Structure 1
Amino acid sequence: MTPDAEPVPIDRKLLIEGLGKGLRVIEAFADDRPRLTATEAGERAALTRTAARRYLLSLVHYGYAATDGKYYWLLPRVLRLGQAFMEGARVPRIAQPFIQRASMQCGETLNVGTLDGHEVVYLSRSNSPRVVSIGFHPGARVPAHVVSQGLAILSTYDDARLDAWLAAHDFASFTGFTVVDPAEFRDNVLTARRLGYWQADQYLNFGLCGLALPLKDRKGQCQYALSVTVQRQVYPGEQMTEKLLPVLREVAESLRPII
């Protein structure tokens, strides 16, 4: 399912279970575990060592991974799997000229992202008018509770869906300002629902703040969020919302009739 589509029920008898297992093996690799043994891959993908090894050797054969006989690691060819989505995603592509124009207007870098399970995935980014820019590059994945886009999208969930999400989420701490209490986080999401936006203050990195609002389509549905990340000292007090929130709202209103 892409962010643009509603889930479609599928008869499990029509599924190719091996494909799902192979994808789980690919997803077993991460920043902190770029090289895995068959045993480690099996543990992370909920497979036996023997099954994991067969999938890993298949990935090697088809050019998606390499091995030294003990460890396995992914090769650049695997990027084709994600690049197809990045090139085909309609809303981020439509939003690009709008966020670029807004970026030139406010002097900051804007992002469009979506919620993939419990992570925000950033899909498009304006070219920064600054030599040194702040923000997330397309393809970056961040735990949803530490970035403003996460709360902006979650604010569009109904209470039952939000509670189910909260119950399954891992509230890891990144700074002393990270909200790790589910009840407090829920209150923040409800506040974001009332305000129509959220400002994340140093949740992920000291000295950085994010401001985001949901990107709703003409039917009022939300699959994406629009955000800006800035240095906290540049926008003290209420200056961030005063100066940048109108910019984000103008982009969101311009996009609403066409997404």
Structure 2
Amino acid sequence: MEKEPLNRRDWIAGLEKGLAILEAFDNDHPRLTPSQAAQLTGLTRTAARRYLLTLEHLGYTTSDGTLFSLTPRVLKVGWSYFDSARLPRLVQPFLQQITAQLGEAAYLSVLDGWELVFISRTSTSRVMSTGFVLGARVPAPLASAGVMMLASQPEDTVREWLDQCVLTPYTPYTILQHDRLLQEIRKAGAQGYAVVEQQLQIGVRGVAVPLRDRHGKVIAALSVNMQIGEESAEAACARVLQVLQDTALSIMRTL
């Protein structure tokens, strides 16, 4: 997971700082003053203000004179990934087959640092809140696909991540103890699939399997989300696991 160090001559600090300003906006900080942006990014107030004004000129932020907020133009940057990446487009028909067979929302997810990102998905005709929007990011240890992805990493790396991670109790059932999370990750690695219940949403279960490339490397995870209802975890796995595993194998053959 470690990246090769970049030669200092190739590093553009201004680009890094501009992206840091964009990433400072989130659910807790939908609108920012230059001072707040500076505090969140480690820039000076003057520098933060200049970046915000530049982004406003380019159409990525708007301001009422004091507070800055993002504009829909920012979506163009994010959607460029979905428009250009091969994997989400290749997998989409397979996800639709999963949903047609199981009647459950299906997802393709990848790791981005400590977070799980949903890069392709389908939905069902049923009205129920068991899903994540395209591009949603969640703590990897709290989602079935995230647990499955972490299980493919060296345990020392996972331990290091857990030591640096501060988890939020999304539900009364959210596991916050790092040793318990590590046990779940080990279990998923040993059995080849992950089952996570009520970690992010009450009454919701996720089941995930790894997606491998032709060399056997785990590159993503396939998962389905469902209402727990009266169906046990064992019954749910018996119903969905073979479909997920067969689909993952079919996708691998097309890569």
Same fold (TM over 0.5): yes
2:50 is aligned to 54
**Among 183, 195, 202, the residue aligned to 2:198:** 202
Matched positions, count? 255
Paired residue secondary structure (1:134): coil
Once residues 93 and 70 of structure 1 are traced to their aligned partners in structure 2, the CA distance between those partners, rounded to angstroms, is: 41
State which of 215, 219, 222 in structure 2 corresponds to 1:219: 215
Structure 1 distance, partners of 2:138, 2:99, is: 22
Kindly indicate whether the alpha-carbon contact (under 8 Å) linking 2:104 and 2:123 is maintained by their aligned counterparts in 1.
Answer: no
Residue in 1 aligned with 2:171? 175
Gaps of 5+ in 1: none
Q: Which residue of 2 aligns with 1:98?
A: 94
1:80 equivalent to 2:72? Answer no
Quote the RMSD (CA, aligned, Å).
1.7
Q: Which moved more, 1:212-221 or 1:149-158?
A: 212-221
Distance in 2, Cα, partners of 1:12 & 1:95: 37
Aligned with 1:238: secondary structure? helix
Helix, strand or coil: the match of 2:223? strand
Which one-letter code corresponds to 2:136 in the other structure?
A: A
Match of 1:44 in 2: 40
Q: What amino acid does structure 2 have at the position aligned with 1:72?
A: F
Residues in 2 aligned to 1:210 and 1:28: alpha-carbon distance in whole angstroms: 30
Deviation at 1:13, TM superposition (A): 1.8
* Aligned equivalent of 1:245, options 236, 241, 245: 241
Q: Distance in 1 between matches of 2:234 and 2:125?
A: 23
- Equivalent of 1:64 in 60, 66, 75: 60
Aligned to 2:151: 155
Superposition deviation, residue 128 in structure 1 = 2.1
4+ residue stretches of structure 1 with deviation over 6 A?
none
Once the 2 structures are TM-superposed, how far is the Cα of residue 45 of structure 1 from its aligned partner? Answer: 1.1
Q: CA deviation at 1:90?
A: 1.4
What amino acid is aligned across from residue 19 of structure 1 in structure 2?
A: L
Which of 103, 106, 120 is 1:107 aligned to? 103
Q: CA–CA distance in 2 between the matches of 1:132 and 1:204?
A: 15
User: Are positions 1:235 and 2:220 aligned together?
Assistant: no
Q: Distance in 2 between matches of 1:232 and 1:69?
A: 49
1:217-251 Cα distance to aligned partner (Å, 9 max, x none): 11111221111110010523411111011111111
Secondary structure at the aligned position of 2:6 is classed as coil
Secondary structure of residue in 2 paired with 1:156: coil
Mapped contact 2:25–2:32 kept (Cα < 8 A): yes
Asked if the contact 1:171/1:180 (under 8 Å) is kept, the reply is yes
Which digits, 9 at most, give the CA deviation of each residue in 1:155-200, with x for residues without a partner? Answer: 0001222122212212221112111011111111011100111111
CA contact (8 A) 1:25 1:45 kept: yes
**Given that residues 149 and 227 in structure 1 are in contact (C-alpha distance below 8 angstroms), is that contact kept between their aligned partners in structure 2?**
yes
Aligned-partner Cα distance in 1 for 2:171–2:128: 23
> In structure 1, what is the equivalent of residue 27 of structure 2?
31
Measured in 2, the distance between the counterparts of 1:80 and 1:7 equals: 26
Deviation at 1:81, TM superposition (A): 0.8
Residues 96-147 of structure 1: CA deviation (Å, up to 9, x unaligned): 1111012101111100011111211111112424355732121111121221
Name the SS of the counterpart of 2:247 in structure 1: helix
CA separation in 2, counterparts of 1:237 and 1:35? 42
Q: How does the TM-score come out when normalised to structure 1?
A: 0.93
